[in-house]
Amino acid sequence: MTVINVEKGDITNTPADALVLNLFEGVASPEGGTGAIDKLLGGTISELIKDKELSGKLGETTLIHSLGKIPAKRILVMGLGKREQFSTSTVRTIAGHAARYLRNIGVKNAISITHGAGIGQLDTKDSAQAIAEGVLLGLYEFKNYQTKKTKTSEGKQLESFILIEQDEGRISALKEGIARGVTVSASAQLARDLVNEPANVVNPVKMAQVASSMAKEAGLPIEILGREDLMQNQMGAMLAVSAGTANEPQLIIMEYLGDPDNPDNNIALVGKGITFDSGGISIKPSANMWEMKGDMSGGASVIGAMKGISQLKPKINVYGVVPAVENMPSGTAQRPGDIIRSMNGKTIEVDNTDAEGRLILADAITYIRHVKNVNRVVDIATLTGAIVIALGHVASGVMGTSQTLVDAVIAASKTTDEKMWQLPLFDEYKKQNHSDYADVKNTGGRPAGSITAALFIGEFTEGVEWAHLDIAGTFLAEKTTGHLVRGASGVPTRTLIQLVEDLAKTAP
Ligand code: BES
Ligand code: MN
Ligand code: ZN
């Protein structure tokens, strides 16, 4: 893994394989660190700008060999884009691009300025955190199964990325930012790994094992319920989804007690853990069905977040709950038309066995409410194809009955730049979940499919503050860009950690 650190020094006289600088779009003569280096190079950077070979466009990479004019062998000028649009998100993005670029040309030891901090446009700590996230998440690779060494995985490794800072007074803020960045990145990487792993490896029992080793390492209590326990608790909805598979279902409950004296200062994060969603008897078409190995992304983000939370130690009690189940068709599977009884006593008509996420979440939420008396619930689920139609692959959907909690989720997502957008839960939509035979039906038809899915879950959250995240459009990244690498995105692990920290800070 790439070591990220800060050293007191001066970029003009620090040796390295490469030095990372930056440039805003439209700047004719560079200032700050980039300006200082430009002078020592005899104006090479200004000349490149004048010749329009360097524009400062966001993500632009320009490599210059210093030929002994400074101790750093190469200079990589990163385009920051327009000054007005510059933010920590820009820093995270360009750090990802820079790290991949340097790794791919074989650079081992890089040094860098802290983007935006010197000119006072960003908080020093926030910039350092964003750099650490961009570098670590941007260099992420999932190569567990490729037996031939591929271009970037072996041999070429960026070993260190060091921020060089002249001002002693800023070193501690930089260190703190880097430490936070390393922690949240490792949490998101854990989530990405779980999602990228195939479903023949990550089944419910394996998911519980991964959660257990994380919890053990983090010193978190963990409880795992198997089929027998689910039967004892009359969790009919979770059992119905697991009826068709040979893989035993698991209900994973992780505990972080950061405010043990105030048990009411709590929140439950409940993540959908369908380790494979074939659709069941209402089987899905084959095209892209492989993506359903990632139908446990919500659960993976909860396991990842609990890891980060255990390290950052916010003053709040957090329950991480993951119902892990495989949804398969077979002679023992549930059928469309079946009527099942959920843990809270409500009966459900299973109109479509492919609407399974809401079923397992119903029982998981009931369980944690009953057992731990939680007063806030955020559930996270790759719940509906309809959210992809509504928001594409750009933003996750947010819904909920507590506007305060919804607002907190959205605020946290703005800090992390994991984009989210709220959809309404108007009462008028509820009738779509009406069943002629049971208390509620598990489908609401095509119109507003993400909303009726959320409203179904809302049938099991009465009395608690509740927000719901539909991540069906955001759990995978289509292409490698910035801190994202094609494959599992790790969304919304970073936001869950941020949310918990924000809630801890605003606790009464
Ligand atoms: N896991 C799927 C939703 C999904 C779709 C996730 C695409 C990621 C990408 C979910 O279990 C599902 O099948 N939902 C159905 C519900 C319908 C049957 C009411 C859907 O959205 O089609
Ligand atoms: Mn489904
Ligand atoms: Zn599903």
Is the Cβ atom of 384 under 6 angstroms away from ligand 1? yes
Centroid of ligand 2 to alpha carbon of 358 (angstroms): 9
Identify whether 50 is a catalytic site residue. Answer: no
Is the Cβ atom of 295 under 6 angstroms away from ligand 1? yes
Predicted confidence at residue 150, as pLDDT, reads 62
From 74, 192, 293, 358, the catalytic residue: 358
| pLDDT class of 504 with cuts at 50, 70, 90 | very high
Centroid of ligand 1 to alpha carbon of 377 (angstroms): 22
Q: Which ligand is nearest to the CA of 273?
A: 3
Is the Cβ atom of 352 under 6 angstroms away from ligand 1? yes
The Cα–Cα gap between 192 and 480 comes to: 14
Centroid of ligand 2 to alpha carbon of 484 (angstroms): 26
% residues pLDDT > 90 (the chain) = 96
Residue located nearest, by CA, to atom 8 of ligand 1 = 472
Predicted confidence at residue 147, as pLDDT, reads 87
Is the Cβ atom of 277 under 6 angstroms away from ligand 1? yes
Is the Cβ atom of 451 under 6 angstroms away from ligand 1? no
Predicted confidence at residue 90, as pLDDT, reads 98
- For residue 153, pLDDT beyond 90: no
Centroid of ligand 1 to alpha carbon of 459 (angstroms): 19
Task: Kindly provide the b/e burial profile for residues 194-223, where b requires at least 16 CB atoms within 10 angstroms of the residue's own CB.
Answer: bbbbebeebbbbbbbebbbebbeebebebe
Is the Cβ atom of 381 under 6 angstroms away from ligand 1? no
- For residue 149, pLDDT beyond 80: no
Mean pLDDT of 63-75: 98
- For residue 244, pLDDT beyond 80: yes
Is the Cβ atom of 385 under 6 angstroms away from ligand 1? yes
User: Do 417 and 89 meet the contact criterion of CB atoms below 8 Å apart?
Assistant: yes
- For residue 151, pLDDT beyond 60: no
- For residue 408, pLDDT beyond 90: yes
pLDDT digits (tens, 9 = 90+) for 275-307: 999 999 999 999 999 999 999 999 999 999 999
Is the Cβ atom of 355 under 6 angstroms away from ligand 1? yes
Identify whether 358 is a catalytic site residue. Answer: yes
| pLDDT class of 39 with cuts at 50, 70, 90 | very high
pLDDT digits (tens, 9 = 90+) for 412-460: 999 999 999 999 999 999 999 999 999 999 999 999 999 999 999 999 9
| pLDDT class of 79 with cuts at 50, 70, 90 | very high
Residue located nearest, by CA, to atom 13 of ligand 1 = 354
Mean pLDDT of 139-162: 85
* Contacts with 429 (C-beta within 8 Å, 6 or more apart), sequence order: 444, 448, 451, 452, 455
Mean pLDDT of 237-258: 98
Is the Cβ atom of 336 under 6 angstroms away from ligand 1? no
Atom number in ligand 1 closest to CA 294: 8
| pLDDT class of 155 with cuts at 50, 70, 90 | confident
The answer regarding whether domain 3-186 maps to CATH 3.40.50.1820 reads: no
Centroid of ligand 3 to alpha carbon of 323 (angstroms): 12
The Cα–Cα gap between 410 and 171 comes to: 31
The Cα–Cα gap between 255 and 364 comes to: 15
User: Do 238 and 364 meet the contact criterion of CB atoms below 8 Å apart?
Assistant: yes
User: Do 290 and 270 meet the contact criterion of CB atoms below 8 Å apart?
Assistant: no
**Tokens 């490149």 found at:** 48
Centroid of ligand 3 to alpha carbon of 290 (angstroms): 12
How are beta strands 74-81 and 18-24 bridged, if at all? parallel
Residue located nearest, by CA, to atom 7 of ligand 1 = 385
Predicted confidence at residue 152, as pLDDT, reads 58
Centroid of ligand 3 to alpha carbon of 357 (angstroms): 5
Atom number in ligand 1 closest to CA 449: 19
How are beta strands 465-470 and 74-81 bridged, if at all? unpaired
Atom number in ligand 1 closest to CA 282: 18
pLDDT digits (tens, 9 = 90+) for 346-386: 999 999 999 999 999 999 999 999 999 999 999 999 999 99
Q: Hey, where are the domains in the chain?
A: 3-186, 197-506
From 57, 69, 284, 372, the catalytic residue: 284
- Residue 149 C-alpha from the chain's centroid: 28
Torsion on CA atoms 465, 393, 127, 121, rounded to nearest 10: -100
* Contacts with 155 (C-beta within 8 Å, 6 or more apart), sequence order: 149
Determine the residue of 354, 359, 380 to mutate for testing ligand 1's pocket, defined as the one with the most ligand atoms within 8 A of the Cβ atom: 354
pLDDT digits (tens, 9 = 90+) for 110-145: 999 999 988 888 999 999 999 999 999 999 999 999
Does the predicted model carry a pTM greater than 0.75?
yes
Atom number in ligand 1 closest to CA 382: 6
Predicted confidence at residue 120, as pLDDT, reads 82
The Cα–Cα gap between 470 and 387 comes to: 7
Atom number in ligand 1 closest to CA 443: 19
User: Do 323 and 417 meet the contact criterion of CB atoms below 8 Å apart?
Assistant: no
- Tokens of residue 304, six digits: 């990842």
Predicted confidence at residue 225, as pLDDT, reads 98
Centroid of ligand 3 to alpha carbon of 355 (angstroms): 7
Mean pLDDT of 464-479: 98
Task: Kindly provide the b/e burial profile for residues 271-283, where b requires at least 16 CB atoms within 10 angstroms of the residue's own CB.
Answer: bbbbbbbbbbbbe
CATH number for the domain formed by residue range(s) 197-506:
3.40.630.10
Is the Cβ atom of 289 under 6 angstroms away from ligand 1? no
Atom number in ligand 1 closest to CA 352: 18
